[in-house]
Structure 1
Amino acid sequence: MTSRPAQNDTTTVSTADLVARFRPTLQALESSALQREQDHELPYSAYRALKAEGFGKVRLGRDDGGDDITVPQLLELIAAVAQADSNIAQSWRTHILAVERFRTAPQSAHRDEWLRRIAQGDVIGGAWTESADVTIGVFTTTIAPDAEGVLRLNGRKFYSTGSLLADWLEVGAVDADGEFVIASIPARRAGVELLDDWDGFGQQLTSSGTTIFTDVEVAPADVAGFSDNHEGSRGWQQVVLLAILTGIARAAEHLAVTLVRERAAAVGDVEEVDTAALGSISAEVLRAETALRAAGEILQRGDDALIAATAEEGGRESVASLLGEAELQTFRAQLNIVPATLSALNSLIGVVPGVRETRHWARIDQLWRNARTISSHNPVAFKQRMVGDRLAFGVDFGARAEDRRREQ
């Protein structure tokens, strides 16, 4: 399996046709999003529908069973899903990130097996974050051989995004040698307990509850080194969230149009309706879309360069600078998309002063809470400092305080 980008392929699907393919499912998602949250109904049927339509494999090459779409196209599709239901979009985040890592990874039996699984429709959920009293970047979840030499996984994870809906779980763990590894296991394997206990005030249906592992058997072939599987992923974790926020901003614009039209019909005079707030929302949507597109374009350049360099000895190191620039652009996009989306939602509240219809207020509340929750991932205040440090002093993202002082 290759999953390498086609060159000058005139049969590449257009973005409009790509989104249109999923449109019926997305319309059904949007119409039921509020009711699902009110009933706390996990979106199993919606998830299965997207899976059946090939959402999880759109980035694979055609030879591998996918659509070979570009990064900007993927981000547009994620935004379209998020406009319908941001919970569904976020529940796919771990899978999307995993696909990108496997696409750009050097050729190996491990990579080929995962491309095969993804092509057949398998979906990957995450089990990374731990809520125990541990140091950032340190896992208490362990993988080690038992007395018979069988690898066993033990630990407890929080924020297991997409886990309740997934076929496989990617688990961050520490092996017997103290090394970080990624252990992949079937989500319903004996010893895996998936809890629907996420109680955040927004994004309530991303199936991001606690996952408990008790002596779970792990196949040796499904264990991979952490660093070996995270080259090329810089900027990706954030840009998926930015696509989701852009989708929420579009949902706010769509609802604002509905509110204004209903108000105009109620008063019987278009001139009596103030559309200024709607205009402000539309401007913020453009701001978010423009920033997302810019991030997608440079991530595409990094993706193409990384794949081209993979075949060369030491070639992957040669694209480190471009990948760093892609990460910088993603963080700069965040500094635009987060405030743009929140501003759009704040304006939405005042689109039609005095509106009291319950269904509209409930939807406005849902969009606002979801946007606030996603915006809290890797807070903007941190990214402002990181971007400033990079531009002024060349400090690498993620540098510790003492490293920042030394580099300055």
Structure 2
Amino acid sequence: MSHLISDNVHVVKNDQDAINAAYQVADFALEGRNERDQKRQLPFAEIDLFSQKGLGGIRIPQNFGGAFVSNKTLAHVFRILNKADSSVGQIPQNQIALLNMINIMGTEPQKTFIFNEILQGKRLANGGPERHTKDTKTLNTRLTIEDGHYFLEGEKFYSTGSSFAHWLAIKAIHPEGHVVLTIVNREAAGVEVIDNWNGFGQRTTSSGTVKLDHVEVDPFLIFDERLLGNAPNYRGAYSQLIQVAIDVGIAEAAFADTLSAVQKARPIVDANVEKASFEHYTLQEVGKSNVLLDAAILLLDEAAEYLDELDQLDAVTDEQAAKASILVAEAKIYANDAALHISEKLLELGGSRSSLSQHNLDQHWRNARVHTLHDPVRWKLHALGNYYLNHKLPARHAWI
């Protein structure tokens, strides 16, 4: 059972606690979801409740005070949150993934500090990729050293959750040429967070700009990303597992609204039935959607269970890490298709009234379309084909 640690912040102690807390946050988030989406109002109260319920630290190792819930439970938590509100559900994704990276790269004192901050209810967000570089891995942000002090200069975009954060994770190029991850205080001099994200979906994720103007960095909070390559790991599969759960949650929300919308719809004249829910073609389409959604959930759970197996090992091989990425990629493909297909069929089967703005049913398709742009499934399919045909192991990064 969870317990209070400070300022009404709970620490989750086991998997069931995490699931219970997720439902409580989801219920609260659902209440104002439509208005927030339509007016682009950021979910500050909802994210505060997420932290207060202890969900931000559910994967912190037990020896640092966390519950270290299973990957299957983690996926379930994100499904619950994203079914209620996929902006609220996406905002913590980076924190969970970043804590895993810190667990791989960090020293014991570094991990103790960061993990304790999260368990106390603080939040960590990323200063995202950079907007005008040739790809998402290329960085212009620089870490400089002046008289023994470290400073950041640069600008980030797609900085999901930055408006809610106490700490920002910023990747930069070290003077020696390698990439480092720095953790900076959101309120530090020279940090400017701008909520200028205007995507048509995932509207309230605060995925805009972070400007860094000669921001001083504590050397204690600089992590050398070269350490991520020292031994095989499955951080990419882990990060992607959460992305899959987000898409599945969106699909689940769209399917629930499809069932409700069909019950309210009028039948097509030529169907010669009393209710739209009796139309033969509608029954077929709902059945197809249900199968697609069930498949996505099953593949997500199967991938999570494999990651749970790997969590029990002291070290993993390249082959095991690759299998993790492949299983998650398979789940991502089905989750992608389920979210997009079901959210589109919702509008088709619900009829003209489902397009009325007061119902806001288009939000599921908008959210699915925007979120699935992060890591397009065409490259997942490429990775699968190359793996099974040519036994080429997938790349090792956060996108697979």
Partner of 1:396: 393
SS at match of 2:112: helix
AA in 2 matched with 1:374: H
Task: Find the aligned partners of 1:144 and 1:29 in 2 and give their Cα distance.
Answer: 41
Q: How far apart are residue 297 of structure 1 and its match?
A: 1.1
Contact map agreement 1:164 1:207 (CA 8 A) in 2: yes
Partner of 2:187: 188
Task: Find the aligned partners of 2:88 and 2:277 in 1 and give their Cα distance.
Answer: 38
AA in 1 matched with 2:318: A
Alignment of 1:70-149 (within 5 A): 70-103=70-103, 108-134=108-134, 137-146=137-146, 148-149=147-148
Alignment of 1:1-400 (within 5 A): 13=14, 15=16, 18-103=18-103, 108-134=108-134, 137-146=137-146, 148-229=147-228, 231-263=233-265, 273-274=278-279, 276=283, 277-305=285-313, 309=314, 316=315, 318-356=316-354, 358-359=356-357, 361-363=359-361, 365-398=362-395
**Count of equivalent residues:** 375
Partner of 1:3: none
Q: How far apart are residue 331 of structure 1 and its match?
A: 1.1
Contact map agreement 2:105 2:224 (CA 8 A) in 1: no
Higher mean C-alpha displacement, 240-249 vs 274-283: 274-283
Partner of 1:312: none
AA in 1 matched with 2:154: G
Q: How far apart are residue 113 of structure 1 and its match?
A: 2.0
Task: Find the aligned partners of 1:22 and 1:346 in 2 and give their Cα distance.
Answer: 27
Contact map agreement 1:104 1:232 (CA 8 A) in 2: no
Q: How far apart are residue 356 of structure 1 and its match?
A: 4.8
Higher mean C-alpha displacement, 87-96 vs 63-72: 63-72
TM-score (norm 2): 0.86
> 1:53-74: per-residue Cα shift (whole Å, max 9, x none)?
0110112244533333100000
> 1:349-377: per-residue Cα shift (whole Å, max 9, x none)?
222334357256522x1110110111112
Matched-pair identity in %: 24
> 1:55-112: per-residue Cα shift (whole Å, max 9, x none)?
1011224453333310000001001100011111111111010222344557622222
Sort the Cα spacing of 1:44 and 1:12 in 2 relative to 1 into closer, same or farther, 3 A.
Answer: closer
Q: How far apart are residue 281 of structure 1 and its match?
A: 2.6
Task: Find the aligned partners of 1:367 and 1:349 in 2 and give their Cα distance.
Answer: 10
SS at match of 2:370: helix
Contact map agreement 2:167 2:186 (CA 8 A) in 1: yes
AA in 1 matched with 2:338: A
> 1:260-299: per-residue Cα shift (whole Å, max 9, x none)?
33348xxx96586435133333222212111111111112
AA in 1 matched with 2:379: F
Sort the Cα spacing of 1:351 and 1:153 in 2 relative to 1 into closer, same or farther, 3 A.
Answer: same
TM-score (norm 1): 0.85
Q: How far apart are residue 251 of structure 1 and its match?
A: 0.3
Task: Find the aligned partners of 1:135 and 1:272 in 2 and give their Cα distance.
Answer: 47
AA in 2 matched with 1:160: S
SS at match of 1:362: coil
Q: CA RMSD in A?
A: 2.6
Sort the Cα spacing of 1:360 and 1:299 in 2 relative to 1 into closer, same or farther, 3 A.
Answer: farther
Sort the Cα spacing of 1:165 and 1:19 in 2 relative to 1 into closer, same or farther, 3 A.
Answer: same
Gap runs ≥5 in structure 2: 1-11, 267-272
Q: How far apart are residue 383 of structure 1 and its match?
A: 1.6
Contact map agreement 1:64 1:119 (CA 8 A) in 2: no
